[in-house]
Amino acid sequence: MNDPAIVIINADGGSRGNPGPAGYGAVVYDGEGNVLAQRAKHIGNATNNVAEYRGLLAGLEVVAERFPKSRVHVRLDSKLIVEQMTGRWKIKHPAMRELALQARDLLSERDVEFEWVPREENEAADALANAAMDGAPDEEIIVDNPRDSKSNPRVQAEVNIKAQPEVEPVTVVLIRHGHSLRDQQKVDGEDLYDEATLTPEGTKQVRQSGQILQLIGTQEWSDLPRPSWVVSSPRQRTRETAREVVKSLNIPEQNRALWEAFRDAQGAELPEIGKRVKAGLDKLASDHPGECVVVASHGKAIKAAVGVSLELPETVWSQLRTPLASVTILKYRAQAPSELVALSVISS
């Protein structure tokens, strides 16, 4: 039988701990959606990104061996790998660079297209990856299906048993503080980094941004939950911003244990802030799945939050623009790809 005109690879990978016990899953389809092959394997301790690359390689190896003449369409929910494989982003991590080179060797001069898809459009590969993560080290699923088969009972049963239940993301609304005395001046040489208060202009900016927050869960973002909690960084200007949000939305401010996670730090580099911010986001995901939390924070911390959530290279974080009193919205998952809903929205 001739090779299908096009084969579609859906691949995914994950790690319980990043790094931690890791696995990948890959499903190969023909152009009509028939399942041609499925692969999954527990690969020991690895990062999410390495596991995702291994899933891509598994799919490409199937295609190289079984369908050498078909066009290839690769669908991944990792924007990082899509951008790296298309050459738009550089690959700095040595292990990832080696895996990317292996993938390019398998593709050789073939007609290939890479596409980023949201996680919900990659469920089969995601389920296989979760099954692999829960398996024993080096445990592997290899199934080559007839071209008229749309599923494989043995693999499906194994996935149903081992796949983890879907965890709802937490919606994180990051609002940068308004204009403060620190933005205006330093009085008598005093460093106002910690205790600078909002200026009247800054208070007005935050109140205007409150109008944006009131649209969440209605109108513009009707698919999102309504805000139910507010968290602040410990700086005076962000605490004042949080108080204005509390008044605007009539919701409680809570969880002071998270304040430090979302603070800015004078002279700190973005990667350093990113580690702290990710820990805070993970805590929110654990404590508030399916809920919406507003976080009053700072420009660098918000850039870092977007960077770690979307797995963007650290070199591009500084290019994100986060104006005073702007609103950024993320649907955040600790162990799965997150979604950027809105970036730096400002009230007009």
pLDDT at 166: 56
Which residue is associated with the tokens 């009707």? Answer: 222
| 213 within 8 A of 175, measured Cβ to Cβ | yes
- Residues 216 and 199: their CA atoms lie apart, in Å, by 26
Strand runs labelled E in the chain: 6-15, 20-30, 35-46, 71-76, 112-116, 140-144, 170-176, 227-232, 292-297, 327-332, 339-345
Residue 254 has pLDDT above 80, yes or no: no
* Residue type present at position 82: V
- Residues 147 and 66: their CA atoms lie apart, in Å, by 12
Residue 315 has pLDDT above 50, yes or no: yes
| 122 within 8 A of 76, measured Cβ to Cβ | yes
Range from 212-221, 270-279, 295-304 that averages highest in pLDDT: 295-304
Stretch(es) of the chain classified as CATH 3.30.420.10: 6-162
- What CATH number does domain 6-162 carry, 3.30.420.10, 3.40.50.10420, 3.40.190.10, 3.40.50.300? 3.30.420.10
pLDDT at 162: 41
Residue 303 has pLDDT above 50, yes or no: yes
pLDDT at 263: 82
| 199 within 8 A of 179, measured Cβ to Cβ | yes
pLDDT at 308: 92
Residue 264 has pLDDT above 80, yes or no: no
pLDDT per position as a tens digit, 22-79: 999 999 998 888 899 999 999 999 888 899 999 999 999 999 999 998 999 999 999 8
Range from 89-93, 109-113, 189-193, 324-328 that averages highest in pLDDT: 324-328
pLDDT at 296: 95
pLDDT at 186: 47
- Residues 224 and 290: their CA atoms lie apart, in Å, by 9
Would you place residue 167 in the very low, low, confident or very high pLDDT band (cuts 50, 70, 90)?
A: low
Would you place residue 12 in the very low, low, confident or very high pLDDT band (cuts 50, 70, 90)?
A: very high
Residue 19: asked if its preceding bond is cis (omega within 30°), the reply is yes
Among candidate residues 164, 119, 102, the one with its CA nearest the CA of residue 311 = 119
pLDDT at 144: 83
| Higher local confidence (pLDDT), 336 or 114 | 114
pLDDT at 270: 87
Q: Which of 118-127, 136-145, 276-285 has the lowest mean pLDDT?
A: 136-145
Q: Is 108 exposed, middle or buried (0-12, 13-18, 19+ CB in 10 A)?
A: exposed
Tokens of 24: 């990948």
Among candidate residues 310, 328, 325, 321, the one with its CA nearest the CA of residue 83 = 310
- Residues 117 and 11: their CA atoms lie apart, in Å, by 11
pLDDT at 155: 43
Residue 333 has pLDDT above 50, yes or no: yes
Stretch(es) of the chain classified as CATH 3.40.50.1240: 170-345
- Residues 215 and 224: their CA atoms lie apart, in Å, by 10
Would you place residue 267 in the very low, low, confident or very high pLDDT band (cuts 50, 70, 90)?
A: low
- Residues 185 and 165: their CA atoms lie apart, in Å, by 52
The CATH homologous superfamily for domain 170-345 is Phosphoglycerate mutase-like (3.40.50.1240)
